[in-house]
Chain A
Amino acid sequence: MSNTVPDKYFENLSSNILDNIEHLEDEIQINAPTLNKVSKKEIYLTPESYFQSLRNSILKKTNKTRVIRMGIIRAAAAACIILLFYFSSSELFYGSEKNIAFAESEILDFYLENLDEIELNDLTDLSTIEQLNTTGLFEDFNADELESYLSDNIDDLAIENIIENNI
């Protein structure tokens, strides 16, 4: 925004304004004598202290406009965050499930295709681990309970032999 004015602007300002008005008056006087006789008194009226209430009405309305605008901006921002969260989370969740499913199928395929190449020791290690885990099941049984369980379930084996060989 510039604060400069043309040279001698203020010196000529008053005469320019007067020239302008005089020119208008001259123009009307010469070209429209009937119009020149019509009073220029204001023909429109306003209610009392209208301009004071107008100012208040305008400021009230513009504040309302601002609130609505802020509401729209906030709603838009919230919608953006929700959409962003939705897309990023679905990518994350679906992406990870896909990865897990893919990993499981990949492992299965790998085992099926390469079973011969897997060393026997590895399988033995796996079975040993399982065995160790299951034997733990009997730790809480006392001798009488164990005897009763085996007599109910394994009739054809001598209880003494089982106790001797396995426990």
Chain B
Amino acid sequence: MNDSEDHKILELISIDKSFDKGFEMLVVQYQERLYWHIRRIVHFHEDADDVVQNTFIKVFKHIKSFKSQSKLYTWLYRIASNEAITFLNKRNKTLHQNFDNKNLDLEQKLKSDPYFDADEAQLKLLMAIELLPEKQKLVFNMRYYDEMPYEDISAILEVSKGALKASFHHAMKKVELYLKQNIDYV
């Protein structure tokens, strides 16, 4: 997350003539990071593809109203997180499955997905994360996979650093317990 690069992007976007160039730079700069962040929430490539495109359309529509009080990348992550959670909520409403069935179904689907390649422990870790409440899941993913500082997660989720530290600690404990109960090789 290069601040000077963000500054350049925002400067180009602020001028009508260079808006397209600035927006293209933004897409190039952030598409992969946002895609992986979304993919960890929705799991499947096709869904992540839809959500990331919708995220950038939202960004395109609202980028001119972006206030530089926050970092560009935390603002982008917030939009991406909201889009991904909205997508999941909509999907869950149409599926009407109970929690256990939903996770069993997810595990089966992931195993047969050509764009999924995890060993047994990684799959169990994913299922453990899936059991966490929505916000704790986000905190865990951003801290564990993206190794994001609490300060940035705090800006994205609009939660205090103290609350985030506690949330990550609880999430880690729950994941550890699940792994201990479900993985044989340790």
Contact A65 B28 (CB under 8 A): no
Contact A34 B180 (CB under 8 A): yes
Q: List B1-39 residues whose CB lies under 8 Å from chain A.
A: 7, 10-11, 23-24, 27-28, 31-32, 35-36, 39
Contact B175 A32 (CB under 8 A): yes
Q: Which of A28, A41, A58, A65 contacts B172 (CB 8 A)?
A: A28
A25 to nearest B CB, angstroms? Answer: 9
A47 vs B43: C-alpha distance when bound (angstroms): 14
Q: How large is the interface on A (under 10, 10 to 19, 20 to 34, 35 or more residues)?
A: 20 to 34
Contact A45 B23 (CB under 8 A): no
Q: Which A residues touch B116, using CB under 8 A?
A: 43-45
Contact B60 A54 (CB under 8 A): no
Q: Is A1 an interface residue (CB 8 A)?
A: yes
Q: Which of B7, B149, B179 contacts A35 (CB 8 A)?
A: B179
Task: Give the B interface residue count (CB, 8 A).
Answer: 48
Classify the interface of chain A: helix, strand, loop or mixed.
Answer: helix
Contact A35 B31 (CB under 8 A): no
Q: Which of A24, A35, A65 contacts B147 (CB 8 A)?
A: A24
Contact B176 A47 (CB under 8 A): no
Q: List B67-126 residues whose CB lies under 8 Å from chain A.
A: 68, 114-119, 121-123, 125-126
A35 vs B180: C-alpha distance when bound (angstroms): 9
